[in-house]
Structure 1
Amino acid sequence: MAPEPLLPNSGRRVFVALGDSFTEGVGDRDERLPNGVRGWADRVAEKLAKAHPGWKYANLAIRSKRLRQIIDEQLEPALRMRPTLVTLYAGGNDILDLKTDMAALMDEYEQLVARLAETGATLVLFTGFDVKVSALLEPLKRRNTFYNQRVRDIAEKYGAVLVDYWCLDAFHDRRMWDSDRLHMSKAGHKYLAGQVLDQLGVPHKIRPKDWEPPSRLTLREWERRQRRWIHEWVLPLFGRKLRGVTLGDQLAPRWPEPVKVPKKGGLKKLVAEPEAAENA
């Protein structure tokens, strides 16, 4: 017996992406698009539309959001869109906050997944990656491990598609990461889009970068990179924490309502030619 298709080939097709910077697309810069980024979710939406024209797409994710904010700000709008495909990554920012009760966090995460599963949509969940940012963050590894195992268990319980980001060896290459070391680079977002499409059974031609092995850094190069990273990313991050602000405070969702993705030209065409949505 043939496996039941994960996605509808006809009828209503609405993809809604929920979450934080991971799903917003931070690290994959494109000033032509809302919030100046593109990201894996946009790329998935475009490949869906290319394979089966008629898909609509909304992306409600905003950088820096905690799980509770995602529930409060994104869940009800997503449910009103009557999605047939939902992707969710949430909780990563909570893990970085040492006062977070991980057991309580994951109970709340499961409640969110249960609400989304009730829609009958195909639901895609993600584990987190063990980002080697700094030895200072190694104590967080136990929290990451707990988070990932709960996500795996919850995905199985609710019949969700799991993208086990933790196990994707390609991300051990530093070129898959942006200069802040926390967000994927353009190459990382492209690769992850391919992984999501593979899990959904959607055809695509995304291929991993054919790089030469990464060069070893000299001590001087390493020190220079460390100083630049601390000056450009670490100190501003602590400054924002002291002021009680985040990078997402003044941002709106990139695609707050479902847009019909053009089969040709993708989402950039919608920005350049808004009337393209009518003829997609």
Structure 2
Amino acid sequence: MTKTHLYQVLLFVFLMSALISCHHDNNSPTTPSQRSRLTYAALGASDAVGIGAFPFDQGYVYKIRDGLTDFAEVVDLSNFGVSGERIKYIEETELPSAIAADPDVVTLWAGPNDIIQGADAATFEARLGRIFARLRQETSAVVVMANVPDLTILPRFIISPDPDVTADRVNAYNRAIARQAAAYQIPLVDLYSGNYAANIDYVSIDGFHPSNKGHAKIAELYLEILRRLL
């Protein structure tokens, strides 16, 4: 065998070894798509329940669950959302249950019910900070939160204005959410700047909750972030 032929054989062996190595790396069980199981905990209120969608399992939480099947063979969803509840209930009741579930992913959407009920932004912010702190200290989950869309332009509040639902209060809540998210490095789904509340197709017949299209869009925005982090 000439030196040229020997060089060609050695080069071929090297290239084949590299290709085999890359193939193994891409199918390594440590990659997200190869996880056998992923636990997802959802915190929130009626939005998490799926109110506005028909049927409820077309809600954004369930669509996020379905999207997470790209990363695991089985996705275990624990949906702790309860209609009408506020940040106090999320902190005191939903959060401990979510932590006990040892989640890989946590989503949170809170604020609208607190605004409607007249709660001040400072109290909301304090509770949100404690929620983020516990999630960071007691879980290794990827956590994503959504801020508050412009409630003032929803049909419900155009038809029947609420003195607690003002642009100033929505902005105050979103500043509070942004501060705490930055402090704990929580990525945000920005429903306010996206002006999603202005799209009537995203609003259900009750003029407040997301429609099927709205829930689908919210899920898409969460999943855009989760796909980068998982």
**TM-score over 0.5 for the alignment?**
yes
Structure 1 letter corresponding to 2:113: N
Does the 8 A contact of 2:111 with 2:147 survive in 1?
no
Alignment of 1:252-271 (within 5 A): none
Query: C-alpha displacement at 1:11, in angstroms?
Result: 6.2
Match of 2:121 among 64, 78, 102: 102
The answer on 1:113 being equivalent to 2:138 is no
CA distance in 2, matches of 1:51, 1:105: 33
Partner of 2:24: none
CA distance in 1, matches of 2:141, 2:227: 16
1:87-120 deviation per Cα after TM superposition (whole angstroms, max 9, x unaligned)? 011232111112x232122111111111112212
Unaligned runs of 5+ in 2: 1-30
The answer on 1:140 being equivalent to 2:166 is yes
Alignment of 1:38-53 (within 5 A): 38-53=58-73
Greater relative CO, 1 or 2 (CA 8 Å, sep 6+): 1
Alignment of 1:39-78 (within 5 A): 39-78=59-98
SS of the counterpart of 1:54?
strand
Partner of 2:213: 187
The answer on 1:168 being equivalent to 2:194 is yes
Could you state the TM-score of these two structures normalised by the residue count of structure 2?
0.76
Query: C-alpha displacement at 1:8, in angstroms?
Result: 4.5
Partner of 2:49: 24
Query: C-alpha displacement at 1:170, in angstroms?
Result: 4.3
Structure 1 letter corresponding to 2:135: L
Alignment of 1:207-246 (within 5 A): none
Alignment of 1:3-14 (within 5 A): 8-9=32-33, 10=35, 13-14=38-39
SS of the counterpart of 2:90?
helix
Does the 8 A contact of 2:150 with 2:197 survive in 1?
no
Could you state the TM-score of these two structures normalised by the residue count of structure 1?
0.63
Higher share of residues assigned helix: 2
CA distance in 2, matches of 1:52, 1:108: 32
CA distance in 2, matches of 1:8, 1:21: 30
Structure 2 letter corresponding to 1:53: E
Aligned-CA RMSD value: 2.0
Unaligned runs of 5+ in 1: 1-6, 31-35, 203-280
Identity %: 26
Query: C-alpha displacement at 1:55, in angstroms?
Result: 2.2
Query: C-alpha displacement at 1:162, in angstroms?
Result: 0.9
Does the 8 A contact of 1:26 with 1:183 survive in 2?
yes
